[in-house]
């Protein structure tokens, strides 16, 4: 069955802005929902980013089919990171 939406939920809604110079992680949470287009998904990601960095941007390009991130206000060495950790599993 072909799906025409992009689901974000508690298992895939979190990523981080990591700044190596300060060893700091800033949590970014994408609002949960089913997004019908990549443009809608990019807007949701941008909403999460702006909760951490007021002028950050996430833009989707139809021609390249990629998301682009601009972390305005973050340190020059900051970058995005994600982790895959199973919930409810003892470490």
- How does pLDDT run across 9-36, given as a tens digit for each residue? 988 899 999 999 999 999 999 999 999 9
For residue range 37-83, what is the model confidence (pLDDT) as tens digits?
999 999 999 999 999 999 999 999 999 999 999 999 999 999 999 88
Sequence-distant contacts of 64-69: CB under 8 A, at least 24 apart = 65/38, 67/38, 67/41, 67/42
Q: Are 36 and 42 in contact (CB under 8 A)?
A: no
**What pLDDT is stored for residue 10 in this prediction?**
87
Question: Terminal CA-to-CA distance of the chain, rounded, Å?
Answer: 36
């Amino acid at each position: 069955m072909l799906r025409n939406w992009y689901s974000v939920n508690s298992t895939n809604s979190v990523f981080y802005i990591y700044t190596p110079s300060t060893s700091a992680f800033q949590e970014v949470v994408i609002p949960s929902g089913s997004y019908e287009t990549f443009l809608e998904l990019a807007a949701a990601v941008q909403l999460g980013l702006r909760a951490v960095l007021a002028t950050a941007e996430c833009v989707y390009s139809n021609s390249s089919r990629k998301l682009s991130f601009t972390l305005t206000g973050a340190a020059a060495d900051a970058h995005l990171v994600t982790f895959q950790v199973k919930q409810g599993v003892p470490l």
